[in-house]
Copies of this chain bind each other. A is one copy, B any other.
């Protein structure tokens, strides 16, 4: 079992109301050191075995089309995590 992590965030130029709400909540609760907050998505994909290069290519493709909306989002990172982590 291998886990592949895909991180997706809104593009910097896209307004992020969730992040703004998080930032406002943090400020209200006294976490003054945090200047800005943005919220994105983290996907954990589980594969049966070690990912082959073809698997990774399929995941890259899926990340860019299914896991993110390329109009407003971008894929920050795709990384393989060892099993059991």
Contact = CB atoms under 8 A, between A and B. Distances in A.
Interface of A: 1, 7-9, 19, 22, 25-26, 29, 31, 33-48, 51, 55, 58-59, 62, 66-67, 76
Nearest to A29: B66
B9 A33 contact: no
A22 B59 contact: no
A45 B41 contact: no
A70 to B, nearest CB: 15
A26 B61 CA distance: 11
B33 A55 contact: yes
A41 B43 CA distance: 8
A9 B81 CA distance: 15
Contacts of A34: 45-47, 59, 62
A51 B31 CA distance: 13
